[in-house]
């Protein structure tokens, strides 16, 4: 407990402060009222050296140790490209999704939500172009027989069989997982696990439009699982075969698309920063003409510094989200009588769609195909970015601590209530009662923990990013006050139990 004042010392200091303030003010009642919520603040002599020395290895180790993320199918040796979110991971990931949904669907007046089926009629992915073209270039090494994504292998890399790889010419490998639907497994019943959530939004455009009477511009948001049979899944949850996306299709009148694209780039960038990502770790990258998909007018990728250990600074950054101006390509593919235009210029007329996906513009009295701006983010990559950005190792006096300075909205646990002495029944019961009341009144994920000494319990909560610890001690039984410890500053304040929720709510904000 080298870093914290004992409970008795806090009380002593509190009494001294009270006496002093009463003396200075002539013992005025006003002073006492002001002290109703915070009755003592401990300015600690914290000697702290902190460094953000993070890399994927440290995050993987923390995630396993503390129960954020485990290898998928661990019990049977794993399944490559799959990860399971543990008790804290599921909370963190849910909070990322909730923060996104709140910002995108609740706080705007031009958005609707949607949740589509993962399996879709094969025709959706035929006319979207995925069946024909959703592939990555794949190469094989003739010597070691390993398979690589052509743009991710260095031909000069050392081969396990000696010297350099002997690579084949690249050939396309379709990334969609195929299955059959129903009891007969033949070619007529083929379906795919969706490789992105976007297509479900496009084919529901008319349903949403008709049922909500929306006017342009408006958008549809969806969060859900997507599946890609990545040739080389790697880098923890950065590139996996089963992942989640948070996608927006924002429909606008042609001619206003460029302005909306710019607005969305800013809005999405600001979302990450508002949740604690440091601007120096987040970049906007405008794709060059030759990098753009053939249908895209412009794309800006938001890149996060996922690989800080790489020497070349540009290589430290990779995509967490892409914001594309897709013109009317998608609605054109899926509308009745429309057509899919492929990159090589071939046109595939849509002979199956049953509805026109047009919008009647009352200003011009014309049916138009809206343009689409698509901000498409990965939940897993965003979660990884928030984990990495909040990770700090500190030396406090001569003690080491790891602290996740997660934004309170994202923190898996908001408050931990800890008894100073677990074998004192009155202290324990008071702590449990405080935990239950906080949980019930505020809805915050609040936990009670008495499985170690107070110093260790603080360290554990620091490491999983809990913003506040509430400690119940002997004095609590006398004065109905608790010590609230701040994760980031490690400062402590004495707070009356009946003012605790209000005190924490002011600090936790939008949780
Ligand atoms: P990459 O070039 O890294 O393969 P992409 O450009 O194909 O990604 P999009 O199709 O634009 O990715 O998907 C939108 C978002 O979905 C990405 O920005 C990323 O956050 C997430 N994502 C895509 N593929 C994966 C994957 N295999 N694992 C985890 N997240 C992914």
Give residue-wise pLDDT tens across range 317-333.
999 999 999 999 999 99
The residue nearest atom 24 of ligand 1, judged by CA position, is: 239
Is 382 touching ligand 1 by the criterion CB < 6 Å?
no
3-state secondary structure 452-494: CCHHHHHHHHHHHCCCEEEEECHHHHHHCEEEEEECCCCCEEE
Residue 371 pLDDT > 90, yes or no?
A: yes
| pLDDT tens per residue, range 224-247 | 999 999 999 999 999 999 999 999
Is 338 touching ligand 1 by the criterion CB < 6 Å?
no
* CA 284/CA 37 separation, integer angstroms: 44
Residue pair 494/40 in contact (Cβ under 8 Å)? The answer is yes
Minimum-distance ligand 1 atom for the alpha carbon of 136: 4
Using the mean position of ligand 1's atoms as its centre, give its distance from the Cα of residue 245 in Å: 8
Residue 161 pLDDT > 50, yes or no?
A: yes
Give the pLDDT of residue 52: 65
Residue 44 pLDDT > 70, yes or no?
A: no
Mean pLDDT, residues 111-125 taken together? 97
Residue 452 pLDDT > 90, yes or no?
A: yes
Residue 489 pLDDT > 90, yes or no?
A: yes
Could you give the angle at the alpha carbon of 65 between the alpha carbons of 320 and 225, nearest 5°?
Answer: 35
Using the mean position of ligand 1's atoms as its centre, give its distance from the Cα of residue 321 in Å: 7
Residue 29 pLDDT > 80, yes or no?
A: no
Facing residues of 218 across strands? 251
Which of the residue ranges 199-203, 366-370, 394-398 would you say has the lowest mean pLDDT?
A: 394-398
Mutate to test the pocket of ligand 1, among 128, 243, 315 (most ligand atoms within 8 A of CB): 243
Look at residue 401 and give its three-state secondary structure: strand
Among candidate residues 511, 492, 505, 502, the one with its CA nearest the CA of residue 7:
492
- CB < 8 Å & 24+ apart, contacts of 66-75: 66/460, 66/463, 66/464, 68/92, 68/387, 68/464, 69/236, 69/237, 72/242
The residue nearest atom 23 of ligand 1, judged by CA position, is: 378
- Mean model confidence pLDDT for the chain: 90
Mutate to test the pocket of ligand 1, among 222, 322, 325, 377 (most ligand atoms within 8 A of CB): 322
Give the pLDDT of residue 38: 58
Percent above pLDDT 70 for the chain: 90
Give the pLDDT of residue 135: 86
* CA 471/CA 469 separation, integer angstroms: 6
Residue pair 493/10 in contact (Cβ under 8 Å)? The answer is no
Using the mean position of ligand 1's atoms as its centre, give its distance from the Cα of residue 257 in Å: 23
State the Rg of the chain over Cα: 28
Mutate to test the pocket of ligand 1, among 198, 272, 381 (most ligand atoms within 8 A of CB): 381
The tokens of 176 are what? 């969609």
The residue nearest atom 18 of ligand 1, judged by CA position, is: 321
The residue nearest atom 22 of ligand 1, judged by CA position, is: 378
The residue ranking higher by pLDDT, 314 or 8, is: 314
* CA 458/CA 146 separation, integer angstroms: 47
SS3 content of the chain, % helix, strand, coil (to 5): 35, 30, 35
Using the mean position of ligand 1's atoms as its centre, give its distance from the Cα of residue 378 in Å: 6
Mean pLDDT, residues 463-467 taken together? 98
| pLDDT tens per residue, range 245-278 | 999 999 999 999 999 999 999 999 999 999 999 9
């Amino acid at each position: 407990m080298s870093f914290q004042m004992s409970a008795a010392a806090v009380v002593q200091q509190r009494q001294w402060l009270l006496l002093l303030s009463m003396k200075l003010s002539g013992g005025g009642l006003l002073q006492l009222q002001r002290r109703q919520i915070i009755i003592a603040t401990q300015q600690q002599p914290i000697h702290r050296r902190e460094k953000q020395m993070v890399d994927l290895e440290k995050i993987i180790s923390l995630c396993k140790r503390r129960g954020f993320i485990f290898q998928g199918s661990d019990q049977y040796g794993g399944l490559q490209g799959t990860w399971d979110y543990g008790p804290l991971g599921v909370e963190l990931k849910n909070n990322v999704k909730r923060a996104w949904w709140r910002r995108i669907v609740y706080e705007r007046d031009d958005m609707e939500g949607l949740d589509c089926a993962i399996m879709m009629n094969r025709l959706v992915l035929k006319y979207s172009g995925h069946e024909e073209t959703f592939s990555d270039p794949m190469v094989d090494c003739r010597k070691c027989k390993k398979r690589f994504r052509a743009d991710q292998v260095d031909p000069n890399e050392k081969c396990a069989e000696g010297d350099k790889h002997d690579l084949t010419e690249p050939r396309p490998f379709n990334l969609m997982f195929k299955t059959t639907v129903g009891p007969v497994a033949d070619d007529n019943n083929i379906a795919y696990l969706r490789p992105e959530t976007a297509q479900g939004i496009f084919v529901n455009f008319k349903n949403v439009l008709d049922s909500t009477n929306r006017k342009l511009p408006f958008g549809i948001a969806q969060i859900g699982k997507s599946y890609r049979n990545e040739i080389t899944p790697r880098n923890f949850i950065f590139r996996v075969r089963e992942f989640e996306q948070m996608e927006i299709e924002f429909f606008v009148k042609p001619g206003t698309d460029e302005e909306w694209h710019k607005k969305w780039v800013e809005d999405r960038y600001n979302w990450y920063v508002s949740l604690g990502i440091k601007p120096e770790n987040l970049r906007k990258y405008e794709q060059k003409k030759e990098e753009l998909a053939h249908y895209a007018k412009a794309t800006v990728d938001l890149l996060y510094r996922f690989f800080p250990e790489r020497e070349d600074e540009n290589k430290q950054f990779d995509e967490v989200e892409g914001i594309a101006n897709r013109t009317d390509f998608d609605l054109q593919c899926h509308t009745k009588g429309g057509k899919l235009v492929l990159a090589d210029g071939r046109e595939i007329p849509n002979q199956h769609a049953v509805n026109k996906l047009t919008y009647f513009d009352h200003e011009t009295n014309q049916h138009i195909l809206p343009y689409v701006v698509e901000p498409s983010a990965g939940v897993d990559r965003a979660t990884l970015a928030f984990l990495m950005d909040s990770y700090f190792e500190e030396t406090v006096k001569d003690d080491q601590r790891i602290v996740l300075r997660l934004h309170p909205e994202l923190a898996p646990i908001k408050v931990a209530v800890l008894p100073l002495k677990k074998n004192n029944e009155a202290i324990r019961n008071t702590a449990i009662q405080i935990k239950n009341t906080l949980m019930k009144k505020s809805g915050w994920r609040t936990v009670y923990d008495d499985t170690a000494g107070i110093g260790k319990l603080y360290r554990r909560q620091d490491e999983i990013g809990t913003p506040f610890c509430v400690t119940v001690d002997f004095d609590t039984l006398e004065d109905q006050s608790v010590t609230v410890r701040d994760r980031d500053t490690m400062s402590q304040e004495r707070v009356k139990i009946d003012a605790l929720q209000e005190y924490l709510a002011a600090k936790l904000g939008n949780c």
